[in-house]
A and B are shown apart, each in its own frame.
Chain A
């Protein structure tokens, strides 16, 4: 019998080539150092950093997390050291790993801040791609950029002019139509769409009659949001032609596969990192096995391979 060749797991996101399509989601992996003893970081497809802003941000009032059925709420509030200290203190470790580093960025008050950040990151070789986090629910804003197609178009368009690096736009599920926003990002020149960020939620301690987290409402993540995320990836896949990085409640190989079949080119592992730090590595080997078993020679062929029920 001829031995079947190893399935090809590499994928392209804009001009970026990933060795495999499994990355870790922003804010759930710190700046990778926290995981160095718990797993072999070099095996990851890419690392997405915690979102950074121009100035250091102390973050939101604690308590910042609570558990919910099959999920959790968080209101970290983008605590980060600011771009200066990020470059000095966090980037050197990421550089040593030799895998693609995707830097997630956000603006605190003014969309102009994105331009300032991108100009700085554009000059750094270690930065393989930039993810525009226009969907953080924890900034205590009335409205997010990713909740408006016109604003999304304007922002992504402005940033596109500033860099040739791979540009990923991360979208919020807290909208009436994600495909509409995704389309705006694509038309403005985004290389890929990452979705979903957390769903806004609330949980109440009935004994104290108080919200369980300090900012009252926060972002819901984990397996509880998976069906919503899969649906959104599928809807967006049918509308756009740039790659989708799918995430939301991925815990294991089976849940990751759902996203590929729905239309994702790559996946992001988030909350699962807290529970099983090796989840993303298990997914990588699971993908290999699945492709092998189903005689799929390249993972790219699995994207959107959805049949009727």
Chain B
């Protein structure tokens, strides 16, 4: 897989709600080679603190542009949010393996692919939904409360059916998105025959998705997050335990089959 280091020009920076930002970058080589589920590693400043790059998923691609969607949670994302249109960002990408969907064809039944997103986990899944939109995937989005439900319009615009879950019941199903997934699989005839479940979100959610998929005999692909020092496979810092030993989330992942992980 090809990757590049480049100075990408910021084409737009928009705060869509408190602390959540869209940023469009001009990055022709990255855009051309990007697969859904891959990420870029961003150096937000030349200063020594924060020192390391920060991994952010590729959210969408159009022409020579890539779009990222990020939440301000700490030092680096705060600096990132202060960058203005016209400034340049030092990025490396596209990195990681990406989701596997080559077996999904136009002939596959509708809604036979389920996307499960927790919180910011929507970020890479929108790009995936775009790639398999002909299949009209079913998208389950979960968060603590209504305000934190992200990207539901984007998924709908791509022709996906969206069901929402909130912990406090302020929108949609009341409970965890994984409880919603269980319910959907048991109540919905079509969904129970699903071929693939793709998920991105917090670790406990991914673990539950893996268990549910396994119990229902459905293949799952999970996008993991780990602290990364390099992001391109050199430091061996970001490993996760799998049935065939430790694997690097940045290079062998971030997408792993649920069956492969030992948690």
Contact = CB atoms under 8 A, between A and B. Distances in A.
Interface in B184-232: 226-232
The secondary structure that dominates the B interface is loop
Contacts of B226: 62-63
B239 A37 contact: no
Interface stretch (B45-53, B61-69, B96-104, B134-142): B45-53
The secondary structure that dominates the A interface is loop
Interface in A246-302: 251, 271, 273-278
A38 B90 CA distance: 13
A71 B92 contact: no
Contacts of A29: 234
Contacts of A173: none
Residue from A35, A58, A275 with most neighbouring chain B CB atoms (10 Å): A275
Contacts of B231: 274
Contacts of A70: 48-49, 51
Interface in B102-121: none
The number of chain A residues touching the other chain, given as a range, is: 20 to 34
A67 B51 CA distance: 7
Contacts of A43: none
B50 A28 contact: no
Residue from A34, A251, A276 with most neighbouring chain B CB atoms (10 Å): A34
Contacts of A277: 5, 92, 232
B52 A72 contact: yes
A229 interface: no
A76 B248 CA distance: 12
A37 B3 contact: yes
Given A64-B236, A74-B237, A37 B2 contact: yes
B48 A251 contact: yes
Contacts of B228: 65
B238 interface: yes
Interface string B50-85: 111100000000000000000000000000000000
Interface of B: 2-5, 43, 48-53, 92, 226-241, 245-246, 251
